[in-house]
A and B are shown apart, each in its own frame.
Chain A
């Protein structure tokens, strides 16, 4: 079992709104801003803001994650954009 999957919710929360590099099985790597981590499957949801207002969402399954490395802490502006992403339409 990998170390990532055994983390606690408060530890996963630390990664939210930070830019990370995820190394996964079979030499796959992914980079993006952390939107959330599913506490059930330990899957990490990464967001990348593309040109023309497009947003790319990559989820790496918890069981496939080997390591998660923080690249950029930045924040305030990114955190706002992230929290607005999947808001329900009637909110």
Chain B
């Protein structure tokens, strides 16, 4: 039953996380990346293993990118408002 408890906690935590990602869809995202880079974009989707984010209107120091994939390994944090 210890394993069962661990698995149900795991799924509850995961569900919360997926809901928080769903809540971010279509919202402006402020991203802190490595090398002190800060960019803004509109959140679209993530893959299930949280390796990539699909974003739109990525505002970078080099201009606006209509669509982009961000590698999660390059991201330190992201913020959005509800």
12 residue pairs from A and B, CB less than 8 Å apart: A26-B76, A28-B32, A38-B17, A40-B17, A40-B48, A40-B49, A54-B82, A56-B80, A57-B20, A57-B80, A61-B77, A86-B23
| Total A-B Cβ pairs within 8 A | 97
Chain B at the A interface: SS class:
helix
* Residue picked from A8, A40, A54, A56, most chain B C-beta under 10 Å: A40
B82–A58 contact, CB under 8 A?
A: no
Point out the residues of chain B lying under 8 angstroms from A24, CB to CB.
Answer: 76-77
A35 vs B21: C-alpha distance when bound (angstroms): 12
Chain A at the B interface: SS class:
mixed
Interface assignment of B66: CB less than 8 Å from any CB of chain A: no
**A46 → B minimal CB distance (Å):** 9
**B23 → A minimal CB distance (Å):** 5
A9–B77 contact, CB under 8 A?
A: no
**B29 → A minimal CB distance (Å):** 10
A74 vs B79: C-alpha distance when bound (angstroms): 24
A85 vs B82: C-alpha distance when bound (angstroms): 9
